[in-house]
Amino acid sequence: MSDMPGPAPATATELRDTILARYDGFSKRLQHVARYVLDHPDDMALQTLTVIAERSGTQPSAIVRFAKSLGYTGAGPMQRLLRDSLLANNASLGYGERVHQFTATVDHSVSARGVGALIDEFTEGDIRALQNTRATIGQEGLADAVALIRKAQIVHIVGMRRAFPVATYLAYAIPQAGKPTVLIDGVGGLALQQFRAISAKDLVIAISYHSYAPETISAVEAASIAGAKILAISDSLASPIAKLATQTMVVRESEVRGFRSLSASLCVAQALVVGLAYEQERGALRRGRGKTSVAADAS
């Protein structure tokens, strides 16, 4: 990390890009702060340093030191920049705080209302996660991801452990839209051979969440070496697969009683498939081949 920081980032986008560019050069403590800023910008914008320090598991002084390392005079100017960004895009305003308020009530509901209350807890958590996903990815993000899939010669999909259901859905549904697809599953210890099949004309869709499956990281590294495009679906811009990705779709799933959902990730996967099918149909019409229905087959 340089002792002489350059000019402080002037926008939230510049702040994000600066953090990502300098992330590997930060100390482990400042990396911890950096990740929290990337993953919880609403908390950074709206909460006091004391609350942020408690939620992030760090010290207020570390947050101040992090802000100064980026060229700010302290944490305040960095927080104001993030606050202005949230106010300009109020669809995502306060998501982190709403989650904290929701989880604070969860521990009391089952004892008071019985086990049936769990359906309310899980659906409410997923609703919040889905709303945040719509605000975080947006229409442009989805369109860009669909374009990556369309341009690829072959789509390779990898997602292990908790992410495996998302990967298998994509591997089932994307071929329905006429795109050659390979599921990297490593069955029989053949992961290395599957990695070697990735070419520069291909796209790798990698799905992984903290604490990030080593097999998925290896697949992304192999794709990067091969020169392939990489579409990451992950919970942080600072995740190992996001660092090498052409595009990252950030999905923060809900967590209720220690169980993390996949609802938002599967929603994104389905939107990708239907978006691809729609664009493939439009392309066929422009080429004069007539309309073909592929979206229904992907359901």
* 180 & 274 share domain: yes
**DSSP assignment of 211-224, as one string?**
T--HHHHHHHHHHH
54 shares its domain with 186: no
**Judgement on whether residues 128 and 251 belong to the same structural domain of the protein:** yes
Residue type, 295: A
- Paired tokens of 210: 């903290």
Give residue 292's identity as a one-letter amino acid code: T
Q: Are residues 81 and 129 in the same domain?
A: no
Say whether both 116 and 226 belong to one domain. yes
Q: How many CA atoms lie within 13 A of 64 on its CB side?
A: 8
Asked whether residue 166 is domain-assigned, the answer is yes
Instruction: Label the pairing between strands 247-250 and 255-256.
Output: unpaired
Residues 87 and 118 both lie in one domain: no
Task: Say if residues 136 and 252 touch (Cβ distance below 8 Å).
Answer: yes
* Total-model pTM: 0.81
36/178 same-domain check: no
pLDDT tens by residue, the chain, 299 residues = 444 567 999 999 999 999 999 999 999 999 999 999 999 888 899 899 999 999 999 999 999 999 999 999 999 999 999 988 877 765 444 555 555 555 555 555 566 667 788 888 889 999 999 998 998 899 999 999 999 999 999 999 999 999 999 999 999 999 999 999 999 999 988 989 999 999 999 999 999 999 899 999 999 999 999 999 999 999 999 999 999 999 999 999 998 877 889 999 999 999 999 999 999 998 888 877 655 455 556 56
Question: Would 101 be classed as within a structural domain?
Answer: no
**Same structural domain, 219 and 74:** no
- Short-list 220, 219, 204, 210, CA closest to 171: 204
User: How many structural domains does the chain have?
Assistant: 2
Please report whether residue 253 resides in a domain. Answer: yes
Q: Which domain holds residue 85?
A: 12-91
Beta bridge partners of 231: 205, 247
Co-location of 227 and 130 in the same domain: yes
Same domain, 83 and 116: no
190's tokens: 């053949």
pLDDT of residue 93: 46
Question: CA quadruple 233, 251, 69, 12: dihedral positive or negative?
Answer: positive
Q: How far is the C-alpha of 87 from the C-alpha of 192, rounded, in Å? A: 47
> What is the dihedral sign for C-alpha 52, 54, 57, 62?
positive
Same domain, 231 and 121: yes
130 and 83 part of one domain: no
